[in-house]
């Protein structure tokens, strides 16, 4: 019996430039988003100035994954935190709506 889609999320903090890198792998869904959100909240509480979320190794998203990234972008804008999301072309839309 399968235990469902797998995920793995790591965070690396850099004290020199007050940045945090969060690397996501596998399926970005409800359970993974809870873990991702916890790491994002922790980084913001620690006063990061730059947050990078690396989703190059994410195989798929569900709605909660997209909502988590969207909410993070809004929060970073409000708090003045530089946000970078690193993604492969497979995660980008074929056409960007105008």
pLDDT one digit per residue (tens) for the chain, 98 residues: 445 556 677 766 666 778 999 998 888 888 888 999 999 999 999 899 999 999 998 888 889 988 999 999 999 999 999 999 998 876 555 554 54
User: In the prediction, which pLDDT does 14 show?
Assistant: 65
User: In the prediction, which pLDDT does 83 show?
Assistant: 96
Question: Considering the entire predicted model, what is its pTM?
Answer: 0.78
What distance, in Å, lies between the first and last C-alpha atoms of the chain? 45
Domains along the sequence of the chain with CATH = 7-90 (3.30.750.24)
User: In the prediction, which pLDDT does 2 show?
Assistant: 43
User: In the prediction, which pLDDT does 1 show?
Assistant: 41
Cα–Cα distance measured from residue 41 to residue 55, given in angstroms and rounded to the nearest whole number? 18
Measure Cα distances from 72 to 2, 5, 32, 55, 94 in Å.
Answer: 31, 23, 15, 14, 23
Q: Given CA atoms 4, 94, 25, 67 in this order, what sign does their dihedral have?
A: negative
């Amino acid at each position: 019996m399968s235990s469902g889609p797998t995920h793995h999320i790591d965070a690396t903090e850099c004290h020199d430039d007050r940045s945090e890198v969060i690397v996501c792998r596998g399926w970005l869904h409800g359970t993974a988003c809870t873990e991702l959100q916890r790491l994002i909240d922790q980084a913001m509480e620690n006063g990061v100035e730059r947050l990078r979320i690396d989703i190059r190794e994410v195989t798929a998203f569900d709605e909660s994954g997209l909502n988590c990234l969207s909410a993070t972008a809004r929060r970073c804008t409000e708090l003045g935190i530089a946000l970078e999301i690193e993604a492969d072309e497979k995660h980008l839309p074929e056409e960007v709506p105008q």
